[in-house]
Structure 1
Amino acid sequence: MESVRVLILYLAVPSLLFSALRQILSWRNKGPSAKTTIPGPKQYPVVGRVHDLDRFQMWKKFKEWADIYGPIYRTSMLGQQFVIVSDEKIAQELLTKRGHIYSGRPQIRALFGHKTGAGYLALMDRTEIWTKQRKWVHAAMADFHRAHFHGVIEEEVKRYLAVLMLDPAKFHSNTREHCGRIMSRLAWDDASMGKENGDSADCTLTQMSVSGPLVNTMTPLWSIPWALNPWKKYERAREDKQRAWWLNSLKVAKQRYLRGTLPTETWSFRYLDGLYKAGNTTLEQSEKDEEFASCMLGFHNLVGVITICGPMQFFLMAMTLNPEWQKKAQEEIDRVCGDRMPTTADSPNLPTVRACLKETLRWRSGVPLGMFATVFAFLIRPKKTMSTWVRKIAAGTIVLACEWLVLPLPPSANMSIDICSLKRSMNRVAEVYPDPENYHPERYLEPGWPTFQEPLSRYPNFREGKGMHTFGWGRRTCLGQHIVDDEMFVSGAAVLWAFHLTRKRCPSTGQEIDFDSEATNAHVILEPLPFPMDINPRGDMRAAHVLAGYAGVREKLKV
């Protein structure tokens, strides 16, 4: 093994030298006019500041630099230029108002052709394929939200509660499978794919992450010849397996549609029904069109897992660490729902539950780098009418709107002629979120807090309103806000209706076991690491209701 590593290193040397030469030539070509006016840490030749970054918690270094250099600064890594934004209004100015410029995607080195291919909607550049897929997914998600996802969420939540009660120790993995089952049913009417769906989502996230394959940071290693390149071989096998699964799922759905056994409340039915009504009664398609459709449905399915399971796990953690808020939410649920499990119809009457859920995403953001929330953008050359520092951002720069950063502008800052004067920040700045390091759902419930909005029958939620930028900006805003809103609400409210969540105690000393609430898997979309927690039914009657609810839907779930 050591000899292989040495061989790989020697093969990478020419690529590293080439990268260094290209960087030096680019400096010469730019000349003095390209000097940036954006502040930032000192840059070293070729490497930039890559040596300062922790691949597993990069956002904390970005936060440290933001405290020094301000709400927008620049850095580089191995020749790749970055601009880091930690101010909400600057992010709005760049990524929403100028979304036609800042809406591309960078190359994730460990993936093949994701910028132009049909496989990963959220990772594509603005191509014709991206436009067609996004338009279809947006319409499909809106239709299903109006129907509250046809009761699929409530049915699967009844199973989830039973699983938590019967096997509480595996709540972490069971939560991911729960999210995978919901998406697999909505996509293909096949909940048996739930675990595979969750595992595939996690594996894909690993490939996307800086903390994943080494080639995502040491990009010249990707150029090693195929025969000696373990990263290319692994990714080829992983992607081929995933694409084959998606394509087979589409073909099975076609057969079921033609036989009349595919439920109408699935995204695959909606797509195939469109083909049929357009005159394609046999559903025959070219290989290219089948790839387009299977990847659109498959990736839509996958994203619904990774954007919900982490926040749901963090919500369980938040309720465990904040028993006073767990009790307030349970009292509200009991008053509204009594002995029946909450449903989406109860949402207007459970503002405390919604506030606890929304505060969870602020307190422990699942996307501290904003990765899935459109932080990466290839830039075309800005127009001369734009502010000076914007025009100095070179084409190909990657812009990150980082949620973890905490940086209000100092009162003495004299930036009135530029958009840097806008005094707003992301989800940990005290002037917007007082006491940002601690869990305060009341910030959405009580007048006087900067994020309070009325009516409480509508706010807070994940789709709109103050204090919600986890889902991205402008043309690259995540399309999953509606299902996050419904699935997080029903799952979270139902768990509190059914169980008490408490800190686990040491069997020897009886003392509560401490754990690191910031310990995560370090992907671009985070899950907390498994943490110690006890899950107990809220009495024998509530336990009986959980089992009865599951028994009522078990046959339909095709477990």
Structure 2
Amino acid sequence: MEGLTLILLYLAIPSLVYSAIQQILSWKKKKSVTTVAKFPGPKQYPFVGRIHDLPRFSMWLKFKEWADEHGPIFQTRAVDQTFIIVSDEKIAEELLVKRGHIYSGRPQIRSLINHKEGVGYSALMDRHDTWKTQRKWAHAAMAEAYKHHFYGHCEKEMKRYLGLLLIDPARFLDYTREYCGRVMSRLAWDDATQGKANGDSADTTLHCMSVSGPITNTVTPLWHLPSFMNPWYNFEIKREKEQRAWWLNNFRLAKDRMLKGTLPNDTWAYRYFEQLKREGNESLDQEEEQEIFASCMIGFVNLVGVVTISGPLKFFLMAMALHPEWQRKAQEEIDRVCGDRMPTMKDFPDLPTVRACLKETVRWRSGVPLGVPHQAERDDVFRGVPIKKGTIILACEWSLNRVPEKYPDGDNFRPERWLEPGWPTYQEPLTRYPNFREGQAMHSFGWGRRTCLGQNIVDDEMFVFGASYLWAFKSGPKICPRTGVPVPIDTQATNSHVILEPLPYHLSFKVRSEERARLILSNYQEVMGELKV
């Protein structure tokens, strides 16, 4: 594959040369123009900017290095694309919230087809009528489900998860992503058996939209090669076709059940079909284009709910194993509040240490360390510096989460920052804070008009997972059977997608008591029939 890539790269050279000529001509036009103000940043080189030393993997570490050198707002360039990197919350708020009417576009992801204008990826669309319709519908659907704490699906799926972990602990990473996929698939279509497929589909989609994914996302001229010699384009055509067919098939199966009266009213599909009925469409007949629109709307909400939660949960398992003192503190709290019964959402106010460990996990190892990119939709001037239409703005989460004034000792896992007065992030009452719905450090969910709609399900799903897992198991690094020493865990080894998961790592698990082992198996048996395990 590497040889093929090199051949194709050479074939792309004419496009690169053409781009270079265009840039030279633009420079000539600007010769007579007075030099304009710029934000500070690393030295830029002709044609390439700084693309030559900008890593495709763990790019946020380079941005943090440059932020330390050049300040909380700096700019750089990759060929002809300008980036402005922000590492200060107030600056991010000024640009992405107060000027959200300017900086709420989405940049072109080369290896995703028609994502800015089409119906398939609402979080990646430009702001147009399709985006507004889908976002409004998703917001209302998520808010209604939150009123009922997602109908208890998180607790039911945790009973399955704990049973599987007890029986086959080596597959804990697979089960963690599947847990997230099953919760979302149950909410979407009442089919939790789609959980694994949902997780796998989400992971593949993230690969295709990430800088660390197809080389065409960074060497964009390769995308324009003829299809017979363009493996990236052909892969994406096939992937998107299969994903849309899968979404549409689930949508139509749900419609058949709605007509038969067997679709539960706590699903998002039911909510959609009920709206059609209220509009007078009792037969639920629609044009295929309308069905594709709706199936993509529900399918993408379903997909995003997997990838935004599975990564943080995997990092949480890692953090608990590497910080046994906090694992012990959280378990003592759970035992005091819950005893031998498995925790539920009703225990939320009484388990602040559990919530602090979860909140600190997302700060310590952000699931979106680069931040999701915004694009300027028109020319603007900020603090005397012109910002051209098309400029990409990144509020770098990795840097924001390490600002020493806000997050002292930011490189280390310190849950006490959310629990003890005197820390900048401390909030009262502890029956309410910390959480993922409101309060400090909510920038993890994005900014302004492009803020993620999933804070509530993240809050519920992560709490139920964290509290139930710590109620059931003790964990630590796996001990090598040959050397007798712990197997190292690289906490920064990730897939480097836009939304991260850690690379596979090893843990050891021990159920906390025989009584809890019995309860885990009893709970698992209780939900087997309902969850189609």
Residue 526 (structure 1) aligns with:
500
Q: 2:460 aligns with which of 469, 486, 506?
A: 486
Identity %: 63
Q: How does 1:234-383 map to 2 (within 5 A)?
A: 234-371=235-372, 375-382=373-380
Q: The residue matched to 1:339 in structure 2 has which SS?
A: coil
Give per-residue Cα distances to partners, 1:286-319, cap 9 Å, x unaligned: 2221111010000000000000000000000110
Distance (Å, rounded) in 2 between the aligned partners of 1:131 and 1:339: 47
Amino acid at match of 1:395: K
Give yes or no for the alignment of 1:397 onto 2:391: yes
Cα deviation 1:407-428 (Å, max 9, x = unaligned): xxxxxxxxxxxxxxxxxxx111
State how far apart, in whole Å, the 2-side matches of 1:352 and 1:50 are: 43
Secondary structure at the counterpart of residue 277 of structure 2: helix
> How far 1:512 moved relative to its partner?
2.2
Could you report, residue by residue, the CA deviation over 1:496-544 in whole angstroms, capped at 9, with x for unpaired residues? 0000011211223322222211111111111111212111110110011
- 8 Å contact from structure 2 (residues 37, 384) kept in 1: no
Please state whether the residue corresponding to 2:74 is helix, strand or coil: strand
Which runs of structure 2 are paired with 1:408-419 in the superposition (5 Å)? none
C-alpha distance in 1 between matches for 2:375 and 2:62 = 21
Change (3 A) 1:151 1:15: same
CA distance in 1, matches of 2:187, 2:154: 9
Q: CA deviation at 1:35?
A: 2.7
Letter in 2 for 1:479: L
> Is the contact between residue 503 and residue 533 of structure 1 (CA under 8 Å) also seen in structure 2?
yes
Provide the residue aligned with 2:384 in structure 1.
388
Q: Provide the rounded CA distance (Å) in 1 between the counterparts of 2:69 and 2:320.
A: 34
Give the TM-score taking structure 1 as reference length.
0.93
C-alpha separation between the residues in 1 aligned to 2:79 and 2:471? 51
2:518 matched to 1:544? yes
Between the aligned partners of 1:35 and 1:46, the Cα distance in structure 2 is: 19
Match of residue 17 from structure 1 = 17
CA distance in structure 2 between the partners assigned to 1:37 and 1:200 by the alignment = 41
In structure 1, C-alpha distance between the alignment counterparts of 2:299 and 2:3, rounded to whole Å: 40
Q: Write the distance in 1 (CA, Å) between the matches of 2:270 and 2:35.
A: 53
Aligned to 1:50: 51
Contact 1:36–1:393 (Cα < 8 Å) also in 2: no
Structure 2 residue 430 is the aligned partner of structure 1 residue 456: yes
Residues 294 and 339 (structure 1), Cα distance of their counterparts in 2 relative to 1, 3 Å cut = same
Q: How far, CA to CA, are the matches of 1:400 and 1:232 in structure 2?
A: 27
Match of 1:222 in 2: 223
Q: Distance in 2 between matches of 1:444 and 1:4?
A: 51
Deviations 1:7-54 (A, max 9, x none): 423321111112212223333445535734211111112211001111
Following superposition, the deviation at residue 348 of structure 1 comes to: 0.8
What's 1:437 paired with? Answer: 411
Q: 1:127 to 1:29 in 2, by over 3 A?
A: farther
Is the 1:15–1:223 Cα contact (8 Å) retained in structure 2?
A: no
Cα distance 1:28–1:478, how it changes in 2: closer, same or farther (>3 A)? farther
SS at 2:103 equivalent: coil
Q: How many Å separate the matches in 2 of 1:4 and 1:489?
A: 47
Q: What is the 5 A alignment of 1:136-285?
A: 136-285=137-286
* Whole-angstrom distance in 2 between the partners of 1:6 and 1:525: 28
1:357 and 1:488 in contact (8 A); partners too: yes
Q: Tell me the equivalent position of 1:26.
A: 26
| Structure 1: distance between partners of 2:89 and 2:296 | 33
| Per-residue CA distance 1:64-107 (angstroms, 9 max, x = gap) | 11111110011010211100001111001100111111100000
Q: Pick from 516, 534, 538 the counterpart of residue 490 of structure 2.
A: 516
Instruction: Show CA shifts across 1:340-375 (max 9, x none).
Output: 11111110111110000000000111111012xxx3
The answer to which of 146-155 and 513-522 deviates more is: 513-522
> What's the offset of the Cα at 1:121?
0.7
Question: Aligned to 1:47, what secondary structure does the other structure show?
Answer: coil
| 2:26 partner letter | S
Residues in 1 aligned to 2:83 and 2:5: alpha-carbon distance in whole angstroms: 30
Residue type of the partner of 2:376?
F
Give the secondary-structure state (helix, strand or coil) at the position aligned to 1:75. Answer: strand
Do the aligned partners of 1:367 and 1:526 also contact (CA within 8 Å) in 2?
Answer: yes
Cα separation, partners in 2 of 1:341 and 1:34, compared to 1, 3 Å: farther
2-side partners of 1:270 and 1:485: how far apart? 22
Higher mean alpha-carbon deviation, 281-290 vs 504-513, is at: 504-513
Q: Is the 8 A contact 1:55 1:210 kept in 2?
A: yes
Q: Show the counterpart of 1:503.
A: 477
Query: How much does 1:5 deviate?
Result: 4.2
Which residue identity lines up with residue 163 of structure 2 in the other structure?
Answer: A
Amino acid at match of 1:465: G
Partners in 2 of 1:91 and 1:304 — Cα distance?
Answer: 25
Post-superposition shift, 1:551?
Answer: 1.0
Q: Distance in 2 between matches of 1:25 and 1:306?
A: 44
- Unpaired segments of 5 or more residues in structure 1? 406-425
- Provide TM-score, normalisation by structure 2: 0.98
What is the alpha-carbon distance in structure 2 between the residues aligned to residue 322 and residue 6 of structure 1?
45
Once the two structures are TM-superposed, the CA of residue 237 in structure 1 deviates from its matched residue by: 0.2
For residues 260 and 36 of structure 1, what CA distance do their matches in structure 2 show?
Answer: 64
The more displaced of 460-469 and 353-362 is 460-469
Deviations 1:110-144 (A, max 9, x none): 01000011000110000100000000000110100
Judge conservation of contact 2:376–2:388 (CA < 8 Å) in 1.
no
- Distance, in Å, in 2 between the alignment partners of 1:274 and 1:24 is 56
Work out the number of aligned pairs and report it: 532
Contact 1:19 1:220 in 2 (8 A): no
Give, as a single letter, the amino acid of the residue that structure 2 aligns with 1:556: E
What CA distance in whole angstroms lies between the structure 1 residues aligned with 2:526 and 2:478? Answer: 32
Could you list the runs of 5+ residues in structure 2 that have no partner in the other structure?
none
| Distance in 2 (alpha carbons) for counterparts of 1:550 and 1:222 | 48
Asked if the contact 2:40/2:74 (under 8 Å) is kept, the reply is: yes
Question: In structure 1, what residue type is equivalent to 2:489?
Answer: F
Specify the code of the residue in structure 1 equivalent to 2:416. E
CA distance in 1, matches of 2:175, 2:313: 11
For 2:164 and 2:402, the matched residues in 1 are separated by 35
Task: Sort the Cα spacing of 1:4 and 1:325 in 2 relative to 1 into closer, same or farther, 3 A.
Answer: closer
Tell me, what secondary structure is at the counterpart of 1:470? helix
Asked if 2 retains the 8 angstrom alpha-carbon contact of 1:247 and 1:294, the reply is yes
